[in-house]
Structure 1
């Protein structure tokens, strides 16, 4: 198996080639093999290290970033950490634009790496979303100073290109036999890069995107979201429905419940989007054929969510109920069931299924 890290130096050499582990206790009944791609072992703690390195290295290579450049990006957390780490290594200045949904732990990590925080406190007037407001701030900063460079993960082609390598690793780890790949979406860089690799390599893999209720990526209505890194207030140009087999909309309670289940059954402490991916696989059980290899990309680690999705007090405050088997006496959660939408490749028609747990 080739190593994407060949030729890299320092901390950059530890980005990528993450482990793929089999999950033996999370699901029961059907003879299916479930695997988790653990992106939490990247040095910055998430899959966004790959994205950050790809975008920065390519901007350096083509001269858009020099030693005088200040790198700018709008990020809800994980990409900001990845960029802060890489900018620190390259001795570059970094400004991260965040909003009230940003994970405070991530913000403190960015500061520890020497990054500067630009805080957007009010959402976009037209949409009521913070993402357009953060993007507007990034553009404004770059207009004011020619030495500022906006990485722009939302349309930078080196975002999805980074994840062709992610998919290549998975294919190598399973000798090309991946029947299903489940991936959370936000900028859609990961799902697009993986899907393009699958198509170009001729793999017989069905890719299912996982989004959170309230996001604008897929139809389903707009609502308040608490967790960064999953869902988006604007549909990214990276999104391409023609590359996926379908999508699953999960609730934030689904994410919480599944994260607690994963801790209890597999000993993995993961972030919210990983719980969403696991909930989507659960909702898809009747569609996954026996004997399949099913891969889930778990994007980040759970330590940064201890004050939210792993806090009983926070869950009660936000949702008015206990969620997850980690809480004794919590009882069944009251979230609506995930909605599964699978595309009919022959007629181009989608079919929706509402699954009960």
Structure 2
């Protein structure tokens, strides 16, 4: 296995405004996280975007595209359903361009994320009851109501907007590919709107590359034909099948539990001194669960956000014990043991979304 050579750092020119600072996030060689020394694992730290997550990229791209096409201007009210990071990215972009924003959130949205959106000037619309057992359906229904009530309003629709995957195709994965000089055997990415996974997949497909894209989903998600169920980690999985998922092929789907995400986050900070966000912990444990297959391979993982927004949940012993019903003493042992990601949740066959899965989508 050829060791990827580190590129010499260069001094960047000043950014022309905060949105220009989005992208060019660090790619870190993780030498301690895995038990195996013969797997090269690199982590793309999207938390280093100015808004704190990977969602800065599609948020900026969607808003600027809508401005360029004349779909919105400073008099338009942008309305979106969001669990947090997309709302922060949109709030930053809309505030920069002087555009009003309403974020429709559910009860699981992190209080800190809501506070950040409000600090950027966003108006928060809260949904308190699920629709047909799903909060996303309730949020999307409320978005439609607001669009009818508010003149000159606009829905970016992160779940169907092609600018979402294009932001990852033209930014995130291109940066990873350039840094690793095209030597990527496996790319691991969390799925929710499926924008990131789709953008990465399309990047490699258009270039005829054999890189395997591993979609990491939540155990309680309806994506990929999942049975659905309770999920506590925002930004991972979905209770709806988004239109961006239509016709998409992924080499494998690995489903992770909330406890897998906590384990990955705690292990990451212990061994790499990186405070990773919830979905990132799940992505990292998905990598660790596949170590036998990954030996001698070059792997990259996109880590969507930082653990600083999960201090009251994933990094709180009380939350783990009360909400996940898991003793902290056992969690410490779990961190040191081989990954417990349930192989029965994983499918090794390429996965294609069919129209059947989209029948009940409300977006």
Q: TM-score, normalised by structure 1?
A: 0.90
Which among 148, 151, 170 is matched to residue 143 of structure 1? 148
SS at match of 1:71: strand
Cα gap change, 1:310 to 1:7, in 2 (>3 Å)? closer
Q: CA deviation at 1:241?
A: 6.3
Structure 2 partner of 1:322? 327
Cα gap change, 1:309 to 1:333, in 2 (>3 Å)? farther
Q: CA deviation at 1:341?
A: 1.0
For 1:20 and 1:284, how far apart are their aligned partners in 2?
21
Unaligned runs of 5+ in 2: 1-6, 352-363
Unaligned runs of 5+ in 1: 346-357
SS at match of 1:186: coil
Q: CA deviation at 1:177?
A: 0.8
The 8 Å contact of residues 312 and 327 in structure 1, kept in 2 or not, is answered as: no
Structure 2 partner of 1:185? 191
SS at match of 1:218: helix
- Greater helix percent: which structure? 2
Q: CA deviation at 1:17?
A: 1.2
For 2:136 and 2:253, how far apart are their aligned partners in 1?
22
Matches within 5 A, 1:119-198: 119-124=126-131, 126=132, 128-165=133-170, 166-198=172-204
Matches within 5 A, 1:14-33: 14-29=21-36, 31-33=38-40
**Structure 1 residues 143-186: Cα deviation after superposition (integer angstroms, max 9, x where no partner):** 11231111110111111111102111111111111100000000
For 1:326 and 1:33, how far apart are their aligned partners in 2?
26
Structure 2 partner of 1:274? 280
Cα gap change, 1:331 to 1:235, in 2 (>3 Å)? same
SS at match of 1:227: coil
1:293 correspondence with 2:298: yes
Cα gap change, 1:344 to 1:269, in 2 (>3 Å)? closer
Structure 2 partner of 1:229? 235
The 8 Å contact of residues 271 and 300 in structure 1, kept in 2 or not, is answered as: yes
Structure 2 partner of 1:349? none
Q: CA deviation at 1:316?
A: 0.4
1:40 correspondence with 2:52: no
Cα gap change, 1:161 to 1:177, in 2 (>3 Å)? same
The 8 Å contact of residues 253 and 335 in structure 1, kept in 2 or not, is answered as: no
SS at match of 2:225: coil
For 1:336 and 1:170, how far apart are their aligned partners in 2?
26
Which among 41, 47, 57 is matched to residue 50 of structure 1? 57
Moved more, 237-246 or 102-111: 237-246
Q: CA deviation at 1:239?
A: 1.6
The 8 Å contact of residues 285 and 339 in structure 2, kept in 1 or not, is answered as: no
Structure 1 partner of 2:66? 59
Cα gap change, 1:205 to 1:241, in 2 (>3 Å)? farther
RMSD over equivalenced CA pairs, Å: 2.5
The 8 Å contact of residues 39 and 291 in structure 2, kept in 1 or not, is answered as: no
For 2:336 and 2:13, how far apart are their aligned partners in 1?
50
The 8 Å contact of residues 183 and 191 in structure 1, kept in 2 or not, is answered as: yes
The 8 Å contact of residues 256 and 324 in structure 1, kept in 2 or not, is answered as: no
SS at match of 1:343: coil
Matches within 5 A, 1:235-246: 235-240=241-246, 242-246=248-252
Cα gap change, 1:172 to 1:336, in 2 (>3 Å)? closer
The 8 Å contact of residues 184 and 209 in structure 1, kept in 2 or not, is answered as: yes
Moved more, 84-93 or 237-246: 237-246
Cα gap change, 1:200 to 1:137, in 2 (>3 Å)? same
SS at match of 1:13: helix
Structure 2 partner of 1:258? 264
The 8 Å contact of residues 266 and 335 in structure 2, kept in 1 or not, is answered as: no
The structure, 1 or 2, with the larger RCO (C-alpha pairs under 8 Å, 6+ apart) is 2
Matches within 5 A, 1:82-121: 82-121=89-128
